[in-house]
């Protein structure tokens, strides 16, 4: 059982609203920039992609890796962050 | 190999289903991902339908180990008797295994109802007065008797004769047991 980061806890605590993509757990400055270049400038856009992929872990991880080059840990952090947020607010 | 870039969204969706890949809607943001997954799946498998055939082949390799023994030998060996159980060796046990449907005759003590057709006929030839001690000899003689008997079915008159002998035997046993039953009744009073 991996413990969640402070960033994760902050994100899942409230509706994301207009938060930037860098507010997501696992997405730092570098990955955030790459996502913004691809058009994913807000966290809710990444959420939209997460939902379009039917919240499937494997598909989302693969997409994230292809889109911004996230490694395994970053993929996992972002996935669990979004999944938990959906469990609370979706 | 047809290029995936020329496929429409519906064709990509169909291909994903053929390869058993779970997917969502084919959109601009997801098309590249699904194309990549399809190309990976195509390199792994030649065709999605060919893999099913191999499963079908494996199912056909069922081997049945059910063998059927000639009725004379096995039925005779399996006739129910208390004393015969102790003498049932591995040879008889092998016959019993093959006739798994008739395993009941191993459990019966007195009831000869399962195989009254042939087996008691063999034992009845030797057992004249007392069924107890003659049973041990009947088994030894019985193994040779099936060889001399008819190779075809059992004649009808023989079945009637066997039935009568069994009935007489049971009546005899019952009459012998009557005095023993009265004793416990008296003790209660």
- Is the pLDDT assigned to residue B51 strictly greater than 80? no
Interval B13-31 mean pLDDT: 91
Whether the pLDDT of residue A20 is over 70: the answer is yes
Gap between the Cα atoms of B187 and B152, Å rounded:
55
State the average pLDDT over residues B62-69.
63
Q: Measure the CA–CA gap between B167 and B121, rounded to whole angstroms.
A: 13
Query: Going along chain B, which residue ranges are E strands?
Result: none
pLDDT at B153: 73
pTM of the model: 0.49
pLDDT at B76 over 70: no
pLDDT for A19: 96
- Cross-chain Cβ contact B32/A66 below 8 Å: yes
Q: What is the DSSP letter of B127?
A: -
Give Cα separations from B35 to A56, B11, B166 (angstroms): 17, 11, 81
B143 touches chain A (CB under 8 A): no
The Cα of A55 is separated from the nearest Cα of chain B by a number of Å equal to 9
- pLDDT, average across residues B13-20: 91
What b/e readout covers A69-79, taking b as 16+ CB neighbours within 10 angstroms? Answer: ebeeebbbbbb
CA dihedral angle for residue B123, residue B125, residue B129, residue B131, rounded to 10 degrees: 0
pLDDT of residue A15: 96
Tell me what pLDDT residue B55 has: 57
Q: pLDDT-based confidence at B177, cuts 50/70/90? A: confident
Helix axes B28-44, A43-52, angle to 10 degrees: 40
A50 Cβ neighbours under 8 A, 6+ residues apart: A60, A79, A82, A86
pLDDT > 80? residue B175: yes
pLDDT tens, residue by residue, B93-106:
545 445 444 444 45
pLDDT at residue A74 greater than cutoff 90: yes
User: How far is the alpha carbon of A56 from chain B, nearest alpha carbon, in Å?
Assistant: 8
> How many alpha carbons lie under 13 Å from residue B154 in its C-beta half-sphere?
21
CA distance B19 to B15: 6
pLDDT averaged over every residue in chain B: 65
Shortest distance between the Cα of A17 and any Cα of chain B, in A, equals 22
Dist CA A29 CA A21 (whole Å): 9
The ipTM is: 0.87
Pick A63's closest partner by Cβ from B22, B25, B33. Answer: B33
Question: Do residues B117 and B163 make contact, with C-beta atoms less than 8 angstroms apart?
Answer: no
* Cβ-based contacts under 8 A for chains A and B: 27
Mean pLDDT over B47-55 rounds to: 56
Tell me A38's DSSP state: T
pLDDT digits (tens, 9 = 90+) for B98-150: 544 444 445 444 544 554 455 444 544 544 545 445 444 545 554 444 445 55
Q: Quick one: tokens of B153?
A: 């079915």
* Residues A28-35: contacts with CB under 8 Å, at least 24 apart: A28/A74, A31/A68, A31/A69, A31/A70, A31/A74, A34/A67, A34/A68, A34/A69, A35/A67, A35/A68
Q: State residue B158's pLDDT score.
A: 94
Length of chain A: 90
Among the partner-chain residues A53, A56, A66, the one whose CB lies closest to the CB of B36 is: A66
Q: Is the pLDDT of residue B57 over 60?
A: no
CB contact under 8 A, A59 and B22: yes
Q: Which helix (H) or strand (E) holds B73?
A: helix B71-77
pLDDT reading at A25 higher than 70: yes
pLDDT in the model for residue B121: 47
* Contact between chains at A63 and B30 (C-beta distance less than 8 A): yes
The Cα B22–Cα B40 span in angstroms is 14
Cβ within 8 Å of residue B21, ≥6 positions away: B34, B37, B38, B41
Phi–psi pair at A20, nearest 5 degrees: -75, 170
């Amino acid at each position: 059982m991996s413990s969640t980061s402070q960033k994760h806890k902050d994100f899942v605590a409230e509706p994301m609203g207009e938060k930037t993509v860098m507010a997501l757990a696992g997405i730092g400055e570098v990955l955030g920039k790459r996502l913004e270049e691809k058009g994913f400038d807000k966290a809710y856009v990444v959420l939209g992609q997460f939902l379009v992929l039917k919240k499937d872990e494997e598909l989302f991880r693969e997409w994230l890796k292809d889109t911004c080059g996230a490694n395994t840990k970053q993929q996992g952090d972002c996935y669990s962050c979004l999944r938990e947020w959906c469990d609370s607010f979706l | 190999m047809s290029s995936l870039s020329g496929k429409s969204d519906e064709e990509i969706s169909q291909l994903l289903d053929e390869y058993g890949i779970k997917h969502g809607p084919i959109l601009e943001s997801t098309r590249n991902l699904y194309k990549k997954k399809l190309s990976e799946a195509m390199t792994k498998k030649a065709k999605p339908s060919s893999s099913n055939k191999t499963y079908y082949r494996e199912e056909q390799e069922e081997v049945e180990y059910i063998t059927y023994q000639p009725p004379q030998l096995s039925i005779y060996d399996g006739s129910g008797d208390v004393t015969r159980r102790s003498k049932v060796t591995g040879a008889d046990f092998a016959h019993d295994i093959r006739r798994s449907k008739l395993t009941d005759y191993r459990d019966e003590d007195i009831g000869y109802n399962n195989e009254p057709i042939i087996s008691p006929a063999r034992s009845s030839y030797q057992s004249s007065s007392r069924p107890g001690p003659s049973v041990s000899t009947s088994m030894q003689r019985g193994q040779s008797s099936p060889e001399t008997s008819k190779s075809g079915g059992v004649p009808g008159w023989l079945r009637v004769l066997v039935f009568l002998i069994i009935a007489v035997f049971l009546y005899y046993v019952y009459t012998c047991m009557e005095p023993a039953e009265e004793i416990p009744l008296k003790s209660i009073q």
